[in-house]
């Protein structure tokens, strides 16, 4: 991949990291190999993995390989997922992570200008270590990234999909200002699954 062709949004978001939050308890930064113990602890937890798109971790070596990849991966490239760390402001220790994927406009051919190919929307997902849940930290981190993307990041909308059985995540999405816009039945690990689509749009000027 030629990183010299990264869009402006990638450099803007990368330059903003670590990204603070209004609550001041957490910030978003890159994942690091030093995060291994906490990262593998929640990624290997069966209940945490139950409704997630990622597969439950088994081998710490694979978790370390993933952290090494994320520690240098460009942040904000269109159609490429990247995980950002949610870290405690006090000691910078990992609490969870947010997945982000900017979406290229499907109608824009490669021959159009860079401005016409600029991502206007993104998918997001979030995972928090069980020990840090129930304190509003996930909402604080989620809203901070959404506010940045819909503000300085120049996006028009953020979209998330959630298993209809995942009541905790549904509460988080609605508390962060997202609104349900559709329901679909999809295949999830070989079985039909009802999922809700949530969206938050850039405020009108």
Could you report the per-residue pLDDT of 60-84, keeping only the tens digit for each? 999 999 999 999 998 988 899 999 9
DSSP 41: H
Residue with tokens 């994320």: 70
Judge whether 33 and 46 are in contact, CB under 8 Å.
Answer: no
Query: Cα separation of 189 and 76, whole Å?
Result: 28
Query: Cα separation of 166 and 183, whole Å?
Result: 14
Set out the domains of the chain in order of their start, with CATH numbers.
3-201 (3.40.630.30)
| Element of type H or E holding 141 | helix 137-150
- Per-residue pLDDT tens for 106-118? 665 555 555 556 6
Q: Which residue has the higher pLDDT, 203 or 8?
A: 203
Report residue 3's pLDDT band, with 50, 70 and 90 as the boundaries: very low
pTM value is: 0.87
| Cα angle 111-114-118, degrees, rounded to a multiple of 5 | 115
- Per-residue pLDDT tens for 167-196? 999 999 999 999 999 999 998 888 899 999
Query: Cα separation of 177 and 72, whole Å?
Result: 31
CA-closest candidate to residue 76, choices 106, 110, 125, 119:
119
| pLDDT at residue 111, rounded to an integer | 54
Query: Which tokens hold the place of 44?
Result: 């290997």
């Amino acid at each position: 991949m030629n990183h010299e062709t990264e869009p402006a949004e990638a450099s803007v978001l990368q330059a903003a990291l670590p990204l603070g939050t209004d609550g001041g308890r957490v910030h978003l930064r890159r994942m690091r190999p030093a995060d291994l113990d906490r990262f593998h602890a929640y990624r290997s937890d069966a209940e945490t993995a139950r409704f997630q798109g990622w597969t439950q971790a088994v081998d710490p070596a694979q978790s370390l390989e993933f952290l090494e990849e994320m520690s240098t991966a460009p942040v904000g490239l269109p159609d490429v997922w990247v995980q950002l760390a949610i870290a405690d402001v006090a000691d910078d220790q990992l609490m969870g992570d947010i997945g982000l994927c900017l979406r290229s406009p499907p109608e824009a051919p490669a021959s159009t200008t860079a401005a016409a190919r600029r991502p206007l929307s993104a998918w997001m997902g979030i995972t928090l270590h069980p020990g840090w849940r129930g304190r509003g930290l996930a909402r604080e981190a989620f809203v901070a990234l959404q506010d940045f993307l819909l503000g300085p990041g120049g996006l028009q909308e953020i979209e998330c999909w959630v298993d209809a059985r995942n009541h905790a995540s549904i509460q988080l999405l609605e508390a962060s200002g997202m609104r349900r816009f559709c329901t679909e039945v999809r295949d999830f690990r070989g079985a039909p699954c009802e999922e809700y689509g949530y969206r938050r749009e850039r405020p009108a000027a």
